[in-house]
Amino acid sequence: MTNILLHACCAPCALYCVNRLRDEGFDVGTFWYNPNIHPFVEHRLRLQSMQTLSQKMAFPLTVADGYDMIDYFRGVVGNEGARCGHCFRMRMEKTAQVAKENGFDAFTTTLFISPYQKHDLLRDICEAISREYKVDFHYEDFRPGFREGHKLSREMELYHQKYCGCVYSEWERFGKVDIEKMMGGG
């Protein structure tokens, strides 16, 4: 059995991914590192929901030390239109490091379940990080399970966020703006 470290952005997305990977024969560990999620109260709500899911489904959850919000903002300020690439790289580098340090055979992320993410950019970044850190990257398009995972998580009464995570995505969602178009980038 191959053990895999699954970076988790939130419980609703993790639920389907954990089930799918288990069905494929993986021994799944999860990792929480999301300095992009703002405000801090939102970060805490999502983490608590992930901890609840971890207990209910009996899988290990490793939570990164610290919050790294300042490092996140240092990387995106002035590059708001291209923020997703920085965000993906930051989180996937940390995931690959933890996977390697803890003897996981591979890493992946729940971000591949979202129809709202820049899927190809994320995949390219994960493949580059895999080569850089010499730890296998398991690619899987989890998007077909997006609705199922969210339905099951509602039945489990897990917290559901209303935007991707960063303050920019919150503004886009509720302010009806397109920051990438405003700022240029992609």
What's the pLDDT at 170? Answer: 67
Taking the CB of residue 147, how many other CB atoms lie within 10 A of it?
A: 11
pLDDT tens digit string along 138-177?
Answer: 999 999 999 999 999 999 999 988 767 766 666 667 777 7
For residues 53-70, average pLDDT:
96
Q: Is the pLDDT of residue 50 over 60?
A: yes
What is the pLDDT at residue 171?
A: 60
Residue 60, pLDDT above cutoff 90: yes
Q: What pLDDT sits at residue 79?
A: 82
In which band, very low, low, confident or very high, does the pLDDT at 184 lie, cut at 50, 70 and 90?
A: low
Report the distance separating Cα 4 and Cα 17, nearest Å.
12
Q: How far is CA 15 from CA 43, 59, 93, 106, in A?
A: 18, 11, 23, 19
- pLDDT above 80 (res 86): yes
Average pLDDT over residues 41-69: 96
- Averaged pLDDT of the chain: 91
Round to whole Å and give the CA distance between 170 and 186.
18
Contacts of 3 by beta carbon, 8 Å cutoff, 6+ apart: 26, 27, 28, 29, 103, 104, 105, 106
pLDDT band at 123; cut points 50, 70, 90: very high
Which pLDDT does position 98 carry in this prediction? Answer: 98
Show Cβ contacts of residue 119 under 8 Å, excluding neighbours closer than 6 positions. 112, 141, 143
Per-residue pLDDT at 180: 72
> Please, what is the end-to-end C-alpha distance for the chain in angstroms?
38
Using pLDDT thresholds of 50, 70 and 90, give the confidence band for residue 125: very high
Which burial class, exposed, middle or buried, applies to 123 when counting CB atoms under 10 A from its CB (0-12, 13-18, 19+)? middle
Lowest-confidence region among 64-73, 86-95, 121-130, 135-144: 64-73
123 vs 138: CA distance, rounded Å: 10
Percent of the chain with pLDDT over 70: 92
pLDDT at 185 over 70: no
